[in-house]
């Protein structure tokens, strides 16, 4: 799921940098660099991975699946299959319209927590944009990914506040058996989520290519 942000605010000296030794200044600059990298890596609102960071991690994992990186040489267990879960919230736009963006932001933060609670520790949760989120599941077959997708949906449905606001999710699943291209597998999972939305919302659909979903 990824670690919590290391820095809540940019690291700064308490009494001015002029009182620091060269070694202390070097440490401060290093902390600032780490902070800036973290901001690029993390969605500042929800704490999920940024879209760019998520896509980079997905591509890295898929390189193992494609055989471009040898897992044994990298010192990890083989990664034979990867799945992506695409979560598109239902009726979220009405929250911003009726209650304002502050309430909407709180709902988005709640949703990310509920998604993280439903996936495994090794999985990565990212924010695709707006009210759309992704979960990267290494070493997860389509069957495992579907179970995690239903667990995400169950968490959302069990939350009292989300139910009061009628916020649900249309969820799509795609396995690397359908594509090992990082852009394409996300597109296919997104397509499955749109079919879930068109099919009545608040459900899970699986991308099956020419075989249908």
* Domain assignment of residue 7, yes or no: no
CB distance 39 to 7 below 8 Å: no
For residues 55 and 122, state if they share a domain: yes
Q: pLDDT-based confidence at 157, cuts 50/70/90?
A: very high
| Residue 147 exposed, middle or buried by CB count within 10 Å (0-12, 13-18, 19+) | middle
For residues 26 and 77, state if they share a domain: no
* Domain assignment of residue 1, yes or no: no
For residues 176 and 201, state if they share a domain: yes
For residues 118 and 155, state if they share a domain: yes
For residues 114 and 93, state if they share a domain: yes
- The answer on pLDDT for 36 being more than 50 is no
Q: State how far the Cα of 53 lies from the Cα of 49, in Å rounded to an integer.
A: 6
For residues 26 and 73, state if they share a domain: no
Question: How confident is the model over 73-109, as pLDDT tens digits?
Answer: 888 888 999 999 999 999 999 998 999 999 999 999 9
pLDDT at 37: 47
For residues 119 and 184, state if they share a domain: yes
Nearest Cα to 175, choosing from 81, 56, 51, 86? 81
What is the extent of the structural domain holding 126? 51-211
* Domain assignment of residue 188, yes or no: yes
For residues 95 and 28, state if they share a domain: no
At 112, which CATH number?
3.30.70.270
pLDDT at 18: 54
Exposure b/e, 109-124, CB count within 10 A at least 16 = b: ebbbbbbbebbeeebb
For residues 89 and 21, state if they share a domain: no
For residues 150 and 194, state if they share a domain: yes
pTM (two decimals): 0.81
Q: State how far the Cα of 10 lies from the Cα of 61, in Å rounded to an integer.
A: 31
| Residue 18 exposed, middle or buried by CB count within 10 Å (0-12, 13-18, 19+) | exposed
* Domain assignment of residue 84, yes or no: yes
CB distance 186 to 82 below 8 Å: no
Percent of the chain at pLDDT exceeding 90:
73
Please tell me the total count of domains within the chain.
Answer: 2
For residues 18 and 65, state if they share a domain: no
Question: How confident is the model over 186-205, as pLDDT tens digits?
Answer: 999 999 999 999 999 999 99
- The answer on pLDDT for 212 being more than 50 is no
Alpha-carbon separation of residue 132 from 2, 31, 54, 81, 90 (angstroms): 18, 31, 13, 23, 10
The DSSP element (H or E) to which 98 belongs, if any, is helix 92-99
CB distance 83 to 137 below 8 Å: yes
For residues 98 and 142, state if they share a domain: yes
Exposure b/e, 24-49, CB count within 10 A at least 16 = b: eeeeeeeeeeebeeeeebbbeebbbb
Which of 3-7, 14-18, 155-159 shows the lowest mean pLDDT across its residues? 14-18
* Domain assignment of residue 149, yes or no: yes
CB distance 87 to 154 below 8 Å: no
């Amino acid at each position: 799921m990824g670690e919590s942000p290391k820095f809540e605010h940019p690291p700064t000296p308490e009494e001015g940098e002029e009182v620091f030794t060269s070694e202390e200044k070097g440490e401060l600059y290093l902390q600032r660099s780490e902070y800036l990298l973290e901001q690029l890596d993390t969605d500042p609102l929800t704490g999920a991975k940024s879209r760019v960071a998520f896509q980079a991690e997905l591509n890295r994992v898929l390189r193992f699946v494609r055989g471009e990186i040898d897992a044994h040489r990298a010192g990890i267990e083989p990664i034979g299959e990867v799945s992506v879960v695409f979560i598109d919230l239902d009726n979220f736009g009405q929250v911003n319209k009726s209650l304002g963006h502050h309430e909407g932001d709180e709902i988005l933060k709640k949703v990310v927590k509920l998604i993280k609670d439903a996936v495994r520790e090794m999985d990565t949760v990212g924010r695709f944009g707006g009210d759309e989120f992704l979960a990267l599941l290494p070493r997860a077959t389509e069957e495992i990914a579907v179970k995690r997708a239903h667990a995400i949906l169950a968490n959302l449905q069990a939350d009292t506040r989300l139910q009061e606001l009628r916020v649900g999710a249309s969820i799509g699943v795609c396995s690397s058996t359908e594509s090992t291209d990082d852009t394409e597998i996300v597109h296919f999972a997104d397509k499955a989520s749109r079919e879930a939305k068109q099919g009545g919302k608040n459900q899970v659909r699986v991308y099956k290519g020419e075989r249908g979903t």
